[in-house]
Structures are given as C-alpha cells and as structure tokens.
Structure 1
Amino acid sequence: MKKPTPIDEEIELDPKRYIVSETDEKGKITFCNDYFKEISGYSEEELMGSPHNIVRHPDMPKIVFKLLWQTISAGKNINAVVKNMAKDGRYYWIFTEFEIRKDTDTGKIIGYHASRKNISKHVLAVIADLYAKLLEIEKTEGVDASEKYLINFLKDKGDDIEFANIMEEIHKFY
C-alpha cells in the first residue's frame, strides 16, 4: 500500500471518544475500533494485519519510536504524544497510552493495547517544537544525536527523567 502524501490539515478529534487499537508483539494491527477507522480513513480490511506504522506521520522523529519500542519491549507501559497521518494525508495528534498484553500462562509479551485521546493545545505546542527539533537533528546528524539532545532536554528540566515518563514530565513543566 502506498503511503499518502502529507497535507497541512488537522483532523479535530472528539474529546469524548477514544481511538483504540491492538497489535501483536511485532506491531501488526489485530484490532481497531470504529473511531480509529473513521479518523484514519482506512477500512478494517486495510488495517488488519498491517504494521501500525501505516498511520505514522513523517513529522515524527525516529528516536521517539526507538525509545517507545525499547520501553514496551522491556515490559513497561508508556504514554506518548504521537502525530499520525490519515489515509487522505491529513494529520491528527493524540496522547497514547501503550499497555503491554502478556500471555497469562507464560508471562511472555504477546502484543500491545493502545488507547488514544486528544491533547491540550498548550502541551501540543511544546511537543511539536521538541519533535521538530529532534527531526531536524535526525536529518542532519542522525538518530543517536537526536537521542542525546532529548536526554539533555530532559536533564535541563532538573531531574533525571526517563523517556518512559516524558509526557508526564512535560505536563509538569508546562
């Protein structure tokens, strides 16, 4: 499936509705609710079995997903702000709660559950600026330099903050 061309038009999310999806341990979609289909513009047939990055917007820095996957692969839940892209190229920002799903017998990670909601414009402005800076660094210096910048950004806030808690920490500072 060909990736859409991004357009500079935001999809306004309903603050009373959640976008929900589940993936297997490799990130392939195994469930999505009707609101996810509605907002993304993809049919259930297009989404099922597809990598969740089908909705990844090119404005998202790679370091965010690198650290996100490191965190959830280690068995830790995480919250993150993500800019996604719909099938028609429009975008939408979401606050996502990633939860690990484990096999009850073995304790092995078998997938991930994500529920998303809209976020405040104030927090979004901070995140958008940070992500733009990280993306700029990645394009010129690479992902490792972007990670170093992010770590220093968090340290400059006065605490030794883990990426897993970045969104909660940003809420505190702004």
Structure 2
Amino acid sequence: MAKYTFVTGVEKRFDDNELIVSKTDLKGRITYVNDVFTAISGYSEKECLGQPHSMIRHPDMPRCIFALLWETIQSGEEIFAYVVNRCKNGDHYWVNAHVTPSIGPGGTVLGYHSNRRTPDRDILEKKIIPLYKELVSEEQRFGSRKDGLAASQGMVADMLANSSVQYDEFIARL
C-alpha cells in the first residue's frame, strides 16, 4: 500500500517518444529511476532511491494486478500490464509497463526492471479503466483485504479462463 494516498483526479501525460524506466532490488526497493520517471512522478531521484516502488501506487490500481505482476516476475518471467501510478502531488499517470527480472551471472535474479510507455488511449478508456474499476470495487466489497484480494484474483482467473489465454496474451489482444 502506498504511504500517501491523496489523489487530485488530475491525469498527467507524457510523450509517446518518452520511456519511463526504473529498477528495483528483489524486495521492490528502487535502485534506479530515469529523468522521465522523476519528471512525471514529481519525485527527485534522491527521494526515490531505497524507497519501495509502491510509493507511487495509486489507490485505483487493483491489488490483484500487482499480485499477478509480482508472482510473474518472481517466477523469472516478464509481464506487460497497464498501471495507474500516483504522482507526488496526488496527480496520476497511466502507463503500459513491461516488467522483467534483471538476471545476473548463472541466471540469478538480481532485481527487476520496468520500462513504461504511453498506453493506447482507446484500450485504456474502453477496456482497462472499466475493468480496473470493477476489480477495485470487488476488492473493497469485503471487510478483509485478504478476502477482497482473493475475490478480485478469482475474477481475473475467471476472465482469463473464459478467454482461454494467459494474462500477457489477454493484454496483447486488447
């Protein structure tokens, strides 16, 4: 959960030719951010380094998608996912994230690397935002965060089973 959850409802955008990059250690603590990351998020590099990546977590981001993301990268696989992040001032920005394990000598996972591009606005507005609203609503329906997470994970599992695809293929087909 993000330390700060104040949100303004104002969306910030970045250019299609820009790439937001960050790296984390195995526990999700930030070890690197590029200039685009700091410009869009409003945090300085110094404020980011050593902090949990969840510092930019937006409360409208379904927990089940982050759980799927972490499960995937911790298994050594890459994942593509639409993510809404929270800026330091409470604004937000959407990204199409490609998250991969950073592999060292002998195949050891050293941390994680994320490249984020501008999302396809049509897919975002017609598919992702409504889906994420539904997932967050399901998560909040329960008194227990654990029960809410399990319920939204079940929704995603059912959606993927009905489509006969894995999550990455689901995202690629949108």
Gaps of 5+ in 2: 143-147
After TM superposition, the score normalised by the length of structure 1 is 0.91
Superposition deviation, residue 150 in structure 1: 1.2
CA distance in 2, matches of 1:162, 1:67: 11
Give the TM-score, by structure 2 length.
0.91
What is the count of residue pairs matched by the alignment?
167
Q: Which of 160, 165, 171 is 2:169 aligned to? A: 165
Match of 1:21 in 2: 22
* Correspondences of 1:1-174 after superposition (within 5 Å): 3-104=4-105, 106-125=106-125, 126-141=127-142, 142-157=148-163, 159=164, 161-169=165-173, 171=174
CA distances 1:112-160 after superposition (whole Å, capped 9, x unpaired) = 1111011111110211110110111111141111111112222333x2x
Structure 2 CA distance for aligned equivalents of residues 155 and 58 of structure 1: 27
User: Taking structure 1 as reference, are residues 2 and 152 closer, same or farther at Cα in structure 2, changes over 3 Å only?
Assistant: closer
Name the SS of the counterpart of 1:25 in structure 2.
coil
Deviation, structure 1 residue 3: 1.2
SS in 2 for 1:3: coil
Deviation by residue 1:68-99 (Cα, 9 ceiling, x = unmatched): 10000000011110000100100000001111
One-letter amino acid matched to 1:52: H
Structure 1 portions without partners, runs of 5+: none
Contact 2:5 2:58 in 1 (8 A): no
Deviations 1:5-55 (A, max 9, x none): 101110011111100111111111111100100000001110001111111
Which residue number corresponds to residue 145 of structure 2? none
Contact between 1:60 and 1:131, CA under 8 Å: does it hold in 2? yes
Runs ≥4 residues deviating over 2 A: 154-157, 163-166
Q: Is the 8 A contact 2:5 2:59 kept in 1?
A: no
Identity of aligned pairs, percent? 37
